[in-house]
Amino acid sequence: MQNKQQEIIAMFDNIAGSYDLANRVMSCGIDIAWRQKACQLAFRNLPQESLSALNIADVACGTGDMISHWHKNTLKENVRIQSIIGLDPSEGMLNVARKKLPNVEFKQCEAKELPLENASKDILSIAYGIRNVVERKRALEEFARVIKPNGILVILEFTKCENPTLFEKLMGFYTKNILPYIGGIVSKNYRAYRYLPDSIEEFLTAEKLNSELQEVGFMPLYTKAFSANVCTLFIAKRL
């Protein structure tokens, strides 16, 4: 199990330098709207008293995209961040993130073992990272440990679609057969972007992930699929 996790981490180390460009090209920039929606809903589901001094952790932060969106959306929503930290097991990704966001704290770690205190975060986010966590149950338990009661967990992820419509099948064809070539051209690593559709196929349905969240102490508040079920946004409250 740990060998598989290390292989995934090494793969992300390898594509770190081209990761942002590949993501923008492959998503045509539409992931920006998904991230913005995630931030807005997280703020709106927090206790009002938390909004003046938010403590946020972004797990599997990669090159820091989600952290940039947290900062941008606080300005729009009249919210103040007291602290924000990015955590990722890939040192290659973190090196890119540190150059982009020199004033943000980043730490290398796996999602299953976070160097954070109990009940210390108002928001914990993980964007397109949970399907890459081999020991997912341990990671979800860690999220529950570090989020404050009534705090918010934000998950953005590619989820498996059961009984797809014709349009969803077409999107699935794009993801499985065309996207790896685009990502491979940009990153010069076809194998890494072949992993993406394979990991989606092996991942959970939205219903199953919500069930796992409930098992570790979260109450799902909002689940919404975007772009023909390519991406799903989960907002859950820590009970």
Separation between Cα atoms, residue 217 and residue 239, nearest integer Å: 6
**Is 205 annotated among the ligand-binding residues?**
no
CA 139 – CA 217 distance, rounded (Å):
13
Q: For residue 73, which of 27, 121, 38 has the smallest C-alpha distance?
A: 38
Residue found by looking up tokens 């014709």 in the block: 166
Cα first-last separation, the chain: 30
Please tell me whether 58 is known to bind a ligand: no
Q: What are the contacts of 215-220 at 24+ separation with CB within 8 A?
A: 215/140, 216/137, 216/140, 216/141, 216/143, 216/144, 217/144, 218/140, 218/144, 218/153
3-state helix, strand, coil in the chain (%, to 5): 55, 20, 25
**Residues that constitute the known binding site for S-adenosyl-L-methionine:** 63, 88
Annotated binding site: 63, 88
